[in-house]
Amino acid sequence: MRKKPQRKLYGNYTFTFYESMIEVDKTAWNEVLLGTNFFLTTDYLQLIENLHKPQIAHRYAIVYQHKKPVFICCFQVIDFTADVFGELVESQITDLTSNRLKLFDKYIDKYKDHVVMRVVTCGNNFVSGEHCFAYSKKINREDAFFVLEKISNVVSKEEKLRGTISATLIKDFYADRLPKTKTLEENKFIEFIVEPNMAIEIPEKLVDLNDYVALYSKKYRNRAKNIFKDGAQITKKNLLLEEIKTHQKQLYKLYENVFMHAKFKLVKLAENYFYEMKNNFSDSFFVTGYFLENELVGFDSGYYLSDDLLEAHYIGVDYEVNKEHELYQNILYHFIELAITHKKKHLNLGRTASEIKSTVGAKAHQLVCYIKPQNTVSKVVLNPFISFLQPTEWVPRNPFKED
C-alpha cells in the first residue's frame, strides 16, 4: 500500500511515496525541481542516502494535481535511544510538574538502551535553509504549504513506531517568506525560531579581500589585520580528490572537534563524506586544508551552487591551534575571499557563531521551524525540547563604515 502510485491525498491531489531515491520517478521529480535547488537534486539526495543508511531512513514524495507533478519533498527519519534524548532535555526540564517529571524519568530509565524516539524531519538535517520541498508554477506558495501539511501528516503516521516518542519536524523556512495563511499552526504544528542563517551580500566591483576589508571602519580593519597576522604561519591549500582521501582520517577528526562543540548533535556525517562529495560533485564542491608545519590543523568546505551563490559547508579546527592563530576567523575570511574571487554575489555562512560572523559583515536571516508531537510522551517533553533549540542571545556587529 505504501508504494502504491497515485494515492489520494485530498481534493484533486494524489501522491506517490518512495523509500529510496532509486525508486523515485526522476522525470516527474525534475519536472518540478527544474534545477532550482542543488540540495533537492536526485544525485545529491541519492549520495546522502547512500552515505548514511541504515542510521537514517530517507523518504521521498511526489504530489500530483490532476495527475501532473506539482510538488516534491524529502524526509529523513532518525531513531535514537532514551539515554541520548534524556541528556538532550535534562537541563531544560525544570518547567515540568513533579508528577510528569517522575513519569519522564521512569520512561527514560526503563528504555535507556532502546530506540524510543523517532523524529521524522521534512528537510535536510545536514544543511541549513529551505531545502525540504519544491513546487511548480502550477500552484502558489500557500497551496504548497497546504500540500506540505497533508503529505507530512501521511508520512509521519506511516513512520511511527509503537511506544516511541515521535515528532514531525519541518525545517527551515525564512521568516520573511512565510505565507500569510497559518496552515501548519492550524494543524497542531508549533512554530519556533532557531539560529539564523548568516549571509553576506558581496559588494560589486571588488577585486580581492583587501578591497572588502577596506570597506570596514578603522576598528574592524585593525581587527582584521591582526587576525591575518595571527594566521600568517598557516598555509591554505585547495585539496584535490586524492589529497582528501589521504587526509580523510584527520579531516574527520577535525570535523568531530567542531561536532562535539555543537549544541544539537542529532546527526553525524559519514567518515568518507568529504571524499564522496568531491568525487561526485568535483566542479561545485571544494575542501580547503589549513596546514601548520605540514600538519593539517583545519579545513573548510563548501559549494559553488550557481552563478551568484557560494554556500559555506562543514569546517574542522584544532582548537589549540585556533587559540594562537585565529584559525576560525581566518576560515571566515577565506570564504569571503573565495566568493570575491569567483565573482559570487551571495555568501551563505550558515548557522552558529552568529556574533563572530557578524564581525566580518554577515547579516542574520531569521529561520523558522515547525514541530508536531505525535503522542502523549512527546507532548510532555516538547517544551524543553523546543527551549533547547532556541537561539542563544548575541549582539549583532557592524564592521562597515557608517554612511
pLDDT tens-digit readout, 123-145: 999 999 999 999 999 999 999 99
Architecture of domain 203-344: 3-Layer(aba) Sandwich (3.40)
Supply the DSSP string of 56-114, one letter for each residue: EEEEEEEEEETTEEEEEEEEEEEEEEHHHHHHHHHTTGGGS-HHHHHHHHHHHHHTTTS
Mean pLDDT along residues 170-174:
94
Predicted pLDDT of residue 167? 86
**Low-confidence winner among 91-100, 218-227, 374-383 (lowest mean pLDDT):** 91-100
pLDDT at 389 over 80: no
pLDDT in tens, 4-44: 899 999 999 999 999 999 999 999 999 999 999 999 999 99
Indicate whether this model's pTM tops 0.85. yes
Residue 330's pLDDT is 98
Burial classification of residue 244, based on how many CB atoms lie within 10 Å of its CB (0-12 exposed, 13-18 middle, 19 or more buried): buried
* Of 178 and 1, more confident: 178
Query: Domain residues of the chain, as ranges?
Result: 7-195+366-389, 203-344
Give the side-chain half-sphere CA count within 13 A for 182: 7
| DSSP bridge partners of 174 | 367
- Intrachain domains 7-195+366-389 and 203-344 with the same fold: yes
pLDDT, averaged across the chain: 90
Q: 3-class DSSP state for residue 390?
A: coil
H/E element, 376: helix 376-389
CA distance 147 to 65: 10
The reported pLDDT for the residue numbered 315 is 97
- More confident call, 128 vs 338: 338
Distance of CA 41 to the CA centre of its chain: 16
Tens-place pLDDT, residues 191-207 = 999 999 999 999 999 99
pLDDT at site 55: 87
Residue 211: enclosing H or E segment and its boundaries?
helix 209-213
**Distance (Å, whole) CA 3 – CA 209:** 52
Q: Where is average pLDDT lowest: 160-174, 212-226, 290-304, 385-399?
A: 160-174
Distance CA 88, CA 293 (A): 39
CATH topology of domain 7-195+366-389: Aminopeptidase (3.40.630)
